[in-house]
Amino acid sequence: MDERTKNITSEFLAGRQQLMAFIYGLVRDPQVAEDIFQETWIKLAGAMQQGTIIQSQPKWCRTVARNLVLQHWRQQRNAKVVADSSLLEFLDFVEAAFQENPWLSTNDRQQALNDCVAALPQKSRRLLNLKYSDGCSLEQIARTVDQSTAAVVKALVRLRQALSLCVEKKLKLGELGL
């Protein structure tokens, strides 16, 4: 194995935990996540063999994994597993966050997000927990909080926007050492 291949392989394996967390967070199935991770490696190995120059391997792998997740969701439509637009919007938000500040570690981002979520009112944190921790559907959340589905969708969109701005602000302030 040549030095370039060793370096690319080492970098890929070093980022396994972060990439698997990204994939698993989207598919919520350990076996499917592992399959997508493996397919991402196959695509990376193919790109290496073709001599493709990859500027940022983690970003490249997340993009490939995201496309494989979307492909998986399309194949699952017949099985009644359909991605809603809010999840795809959240996926775009995550990808944009990685692209905007690639020099920040995942821990910095996670800490900023944790701080922002902790600052939210209890009602808002409950909505987020129902959607992202418990994996409830929008309809289930609406029944649980005794609101219409449209109201829940609007609240989640506003929460994601507020969290996005909060995280961005915290990361910029941290950048400046404030």
Do 1-81 and 84-178 have matching folds? no
CATH 3.40.50.20 fits 1-81, yes or no: no
Q: Which helix (H) or strand (E) holds 138?
A: helix 138-145
pLDDT tens digits in sequence order for the chain, 178 residues long: 678 778 888 888 888 888 888 888 778 888 999 999 999 999 998 888 888 888 888 888 988 998 898 888 877 765 554 555 555 566 666 665 555 555 455 567 778 888 888 898 999 889 888 887 777 888 898 999 999 988 988 888 888 888 888 888 887 776 444 4
CB atoms within 10 A of CB 165: 11
| pLDDT at residue 15, as a whole number | 82
- Domain regions of the chain by residue span: 1-81, 84-178
Specify the residue for token string 């698993």.
24
Q: Is pTM, for the whole model, over 0.85?
A: no
Which of these CATH numbers, 3.30.1320.10, 1.10.10.10, 1.10.287.1080, 3.30.70.20, describes 84-178?
Answer: 1.10.10.10
- Both tokens of residue 18? 């972060």
| pLDDT at residue 99, as a whole number | 55
